[in-house]
Amino acid sequence: MEKQFRYQSATISYRMEGEGSPVVLLHGFGEDGHIWDEQVQFLKQYCLLLVPHLPGSGASGILHGENITISAYADVIHALLQEEKIGSCLMLGHSMGGYITLAFAEKYPSLLTGFGLVNSTAFADSEEKKKTRARAIETIGRYGAAAFIRTTIPGLFAAGFAQQHPGKVEALAEAGKQFSEEALQQYYQAMMNRPDRTAVLQSNPLPVLFVIGTEDQAAPMNDVLKQAHLPLKSYIHVLEHVGHMSMLEASDTLNRYLHAFINLA
């Protein structure tokens, strides 16, 4: 079911599927909630899924103001839970969605029964990564959002998958036409300025899921493994020959891992 609510001056779009314990799925940069379609199709028989289009993605309006932060996006998700009168949930975030999940866990820990990072990290950007993002903001302004998405999407997949499934890579690149330059630049600014949130993981009593791709260049396996031991209850899954897009590259395997984690939490 597609639904909407107003947040500040923006309309936020989301969908709800299934019934039972609430699970929130947060997408990453250059995506919308449909990136989770294969997971929704599988998981909706086991739980109540809330799948928002983050501000500036899908049918959701962009947040207005200067210096929008990752925490600001977490506040949007908090407002969504209030809208649906949900007192607690499990939250799973992919890439930038993982950054938002960590910000939510930092700010609203009592509302979570557990959370997961799918191809994501608690580390802040390195200085080199910040410079890369700053250059990307300029590139988006010069060449446009669609062109930027089209050049970056292929590198998110493992090489073998991209060669064998060019249609899936192309479909995700084509979906990039929905984005405005302002939305992508806002995401990059927020990601570039986010703090290190390993303290959120340190001795956290909630169950925490880590899904890692061995060929993930955006959230490298070695980086994520350095933080996976920090929570009191970590559930770690390493996907061989998978890049940054495990929802598409290893959907059946990821579905099983998410289902198992949902049952635990």
On the question of pLDDT at 35 being above 90, the answer is yes
For residue 4, give both structure tokens: 């909407």
Q: What is the pLDDT of residue 95?
A: 98
Give pTM, 2 decimals: 0.98
Q: What are the structural domains of the chain?
A: 2-124+194-264 (3.40.50.1820)
Q: Quickly state the pLDDT bin for 66 (edges 50, 70, 90).
A: confident
Q: What is the pLDDT of residue 78?
A: 98
Q: What is the pLDDT of residue 251?
A: 98
Q: What is the pLDDT of residue 75?
A: 98
In the chain, what percentage of residues exceed pLDDT 90?
98
Question: pLDDT tens for residues 107-120?
Answer: 999 999 999 999 99
Q: What is the pLDDT of residue 265?
A: 78
